[in-house]
Amino acid sequence: MQNRRIVLSQRPSGMADVSTTSLELRERPVCGAGEALIKVGLLSIDPTIRTWMNDAPGYLAPIAIGDVIRSGGAGVVVESHSDRYAIGDVVIGMTGWQEWAIASAENRFSVVPRGLGLDLATVMNVLGTTGLTAYFGLMDVGLFRPGDVVVVSGAGGATGSVVGQIARAKGAGKVVGIAGGPEKCAEVVELYGFDECLDYRAAHLGRRLRAACPEGVDLYFDNVGGEILDAVLANIAMNSRIVLCGAISQYNSLETSKGIAHTPMLIMRRGRMQGFIVFDFASRYGEAQVELAAMVHAGTLAHQEHLVHGLEHALDAMNHLFTGANHGKTLVVVDESVRLDG
Amino acid sequence: MQNRRIVLSQRPSGMADVSTTSLELRERPVCGAGEALIKVGLLSIDPTIRTWMNDAPGYLAPIAIGDVIRSGGAGVVVESHSDRYAIGDVVIGMTGWQEWAIASAENRFSVVPRGLGLDLATVMNVLGTTGLTAYFGLMDVGLFRPGDVVVVSGAGGATGSVVGQIARAKGAGKVVGIAGGPEKCAEVVELYGFDECLDYRAAHLGRRLRAACPEGVDLYFDNVGGEILDAVLANIAMNSRIVLCGAISQYNSLETSKGIAHTPMLIMRRGRMQGFIVFDFASRYGEAQVELAAMVHAGTLAHQEHLVHGLEHALDAMNHLFTGANHGKTLVVVDESVRLDG
């Protein structure tokens, strides 16, 4: 009746390492009135977790030293004193990096409906925060319009790959990815169907971007920030929309960023740059999930889940998001027995 | 029957100087069919003129070498072969830095209505692009809401001083200016009625901004760009709106800008940063002018016009915008006889 969990032992400076977290053995948490006990099956490994490790203002409070690493995840309800959860329900929410979690009034989980016909990893990827972030970022923040020339950074990543495919399905004029290395770029074109993919590690990104988008970029979905954001800003079309979703190029950075020099282009081109967090759209997740599930069933939304087995590998799995070693959505398998039926 | 005019002789590197422009004596332009001849009275001296001197992409084409310096201005119609203009009409439009201009199908002027009860300099300031930029930037781009904590840079300048006063009149929670030097800051508070004004030349702007706006900045009207923009970004409130109107700190800059490091704050705070050009609102100038004229008549919109006498001083007048030597709206008087009656 124990709970293995990974806690923050020390705030990282730059890339997190062995001194950042430690694996603890604790008592299994007790499920009180109005609560449910969840056996954790999968963890969603997202770049934003790295930002919560800093003692810096964010959209959520920093993880406290000694606390379990905050993380999305999925599990199965094994005990319930709440009308919201039945034993056997598969639920998604903030599990943290641990084997057992408690659903409570402060930490609500959503129950995955039965009969989706998708496996749990796919649900966590495409119907979870990854797919939802792609959908609402593109459609609601980016105000996507058919015909738009859309550029997506982190195009081989979990969110970016979905953004490009939704844009394609909805009639983008052109979909251009930005990713690291020729192998990733090939995957973005061949697997995810982008029209083109630019390798940011090669020289003259700005010039190649101009060649790919001679009329300028109408909509840019930014997962990386920094120099790539600056290069796109220098190439925006009139009335362009820049969606700030993430800034992974900055999360492990020790130096002060070189900064964005091309903000005056927003004046010249009447551009708009807007940041968002998917949680802001929580009341509307359903509409996006219906559409995304339909695309998966129709075979028009390619997706990959990169499964890492063992809670103890969660930190390495997170670090791989920043080196580009991951393909698709990274999930840590804590307990293989947690599954969706048919 | 001659026309003195100032032409671009060489593109400036950094601050414009005597090698940038030359004064030419030409034939007075001939007024053709559908055109009107305008005797220029006043020139509107705006920071954006400096950007047109560069060979760089902008919202208008660069001024060609040898061409008259592009500029807003006002004059009186002395000859007309157009139904749009009657002899004696006072008109506002793109006169250029010269004594005589032609109104044509490609270069339309607007006729100042009679009986406004304001002098021409006031009209060019408050009802011209300066006041209109302030109005539409605050209300339409910034989506001003009563209760907003509003910060305005270039607060002692022509546009910034109007922004703060409109925000005040419409029920801002607090109006904080940013300006250069204690004298300018005192003027911003005493003459323009801002709640507070921060001197950006003194140390720790970010810290003082946080003290002035402990709950964060809801709406920032940016005239300067660069480090001041970055300092405000670090202090934005949730759902804040950043209006990019100008970037005068960059216009004469020879080095590559240090750049904006705090764009990720737009994600944390769901902020939105948007650029605009007042010309985009041309079809709606009337509604703003009615409101601005009413404020002037009611005595609730303080304004200053800094009159520089003589076409030959236009370049110096423009340069003073960047050193902070100006107070209020800078206008060059080309011909004192051009006036509005009562």
ipTM for the complex? Answer: 0.87
Model pLDDT, residue A165: 98
CB contact under 8 A, A270 and B256: no
Model pLDDT, residue B58: 82
Interface of B with A in 261-320 (CB under 8 A): 261, 263-277, 280
* Boundaries of every domain in chain B: 2-111+304-333, 129-279
Model pLDDT, residue A180: 94
Smallest CA–CA separation between A276 and chain B, in Å? 5
Model confidence pLDDT, tens digit, residues B57-84:
788 999 999 999 999 999 999 999 999 9
Model pLDDT, residue B342: 47
Please give the helix or strand (H or E) that residue A23 lies within, else none: strand A21-27
Among A74, A178, A173, residue whose Cα is nearest residue A121: A74
* B75, B94, B125, B170, B202 from B109: Cα distances, Å: 10, 7, 16, 31, 43
What's the CATH superfamily of A129-279? NAD(P)-binding Rossmann-like Domain (3.40.50.720)
Residue of A250, A266, A270 lying closest to B280 (CB–CB): A270
| Low-confidence stretches of chain B (pLDDT beneath 50) | 342
Question: Contact, A167 vs A143, CB < 8 A?
Answer: no
Look up residue B221 and give its two tokens.
Answer: 């009207």
pTM to 2 decimals? 0.91
Closest residue in A to B257 (Cα) is: A261
Smallest CA–CA separation between B25 and chain A, in Å? 33
**What confidence tier does A342 reach under pLDDT thresholds 50, 70, 90?**
very low
CATH topology of domain B2-111+304-333: Quinone Oxidoreductase; Chain A, domain 1 (3.90.180)
CB contact under 8 A, B263 and A274: no
Model pLDDT, residue A300: 94
Residue of B247, B260, B269 lying closest to A260 (CB–CB): B260
Chain A contacts of B62, Cβ < 8 Å? Answer: none
- pLDDT, average across residues A66-77: 97
Q: Is B203 on the interface with A (CB under 8 A)?
A: no
CB contact under 8 A, B270 and A259: no
Model pLDDT, residue A4: 98
Which of A128-137, A145-154, B138-147, B316-325 is predicted with the least confidence, judged by mean pLDDT?
B316-325
Look up residue A139 and give its two tokens.
Answer: 């459609």
Angle at which helices A158-169 and A129-136 cross, to 10°: 50
**Over pLDDT 70: what percentage of chain A?**
99
Q: Buried b vs exposed e over A226-265: b needs ≥16 C-beta within 10 Å? A: bbbbbbbbbbbbeebbbbbbbbbbbbbeeeebebbbbbbb
Question: Contact, A36 vs A102, CB < 8 A?
Answer: yes
Which amino acid is it at A78? V
CB contact under 8 A, B256 and A260: no
Closest residue in B to A251 (Cα) is: B264
Question: Contact, A221 vs A144, CB < 8 A?
Answer: no
CB contact under 8 A, A275 and B265: yes
Q: B174 pairs with which residues across the strands?
A: B149
Q: Is B257 on the interface with A (CB under 8 A)?
A: yes
Model confidence pLDDT, tens digit, residues A19-62:
999 999 999 999 999 999 999 999 999 999 999 999 987 889 99
Smallest CA–CA separation between B177 and chain A, in Å? 21
CB contact under 8 A, B258 and A259: yes
Question: Contact, B137 vs B276, CB < 8 A?
Answer: yes
CB contact under 8 A, B260 and A259: yes
Q: Taking 90 as the threshold, does the pLDDT of residue A292 lie above it? A: yes
Residue of A256, A263, A276 lying closest to B225 (CB–CB): A263
Q: Is B214 on the interface with A (CB under 8 A)?
A: no
Q: Taking 50 as the threshold, does the pLDDT of residue A171 lie above it? A: yes
CB contact under 8 A, B273 and A270: no
Angle at which helices B205-212 and B226-233 cross, to 10°: 40
Chain A contacts of B270, Cβ < 8 Å? Answer: 274-277, 280
**For residue A20, how many C-alpha atoms fall within 13 Å in the half-sphere facing its CB?**
21
Name the DSSP letter for residue A215.
Answer: T
Chain B contacts of A270, Cβ < 8 Å? Answer: 274-277, 280
Question: Contact, B241 vs B272, CB < 8 A?
Answer: yes
Smallest CA–CA separation between A274 and chain B, in Å? 4
Question: Whole-angstrom Cα distance, residue B40 to residue B99?
Answer: 5
Chain A contacts of B258, Cβ < 8 Å? Answer: 259
CB contact under 8 A, B244 and A264: yes
CB contact under 8 A, B273 and A277: no
Closest residue in A to B237 (Cα) is: A59
Q: Taking 70 as the threshold, does the pLDDT of residue A169 lie above it? A: yes
Chain A contacts of B230, Cβ < 8 Å? Answer: 259
Residue at token pair 């110096």: B316
Look up residue A244 and give its two tokens.
Answer: 């700030």
Residue of A58, A260, A272 lying closest to B272 (CB–CB): A272
Model confidence pLDDT, tens digit, residues B155-202:
999 999 999 999 999 999 999 999 999 999 999 999 999 999 999 999
Q: Give the residue from A50, A267, A269, A276 with the most B CB atoms within 10 Å of its CB, the best one to mutate.
A: A267
Question: Whole-angstrom Cα distance, residue B130 to residue B46?
Answer: 9
CB contact under 8 A, A58 and B245: no
Q: Give the residue from B267, B268, B273 with the most A CB atoms within 10 Å of its CB, the best one to mutate.
A: B267
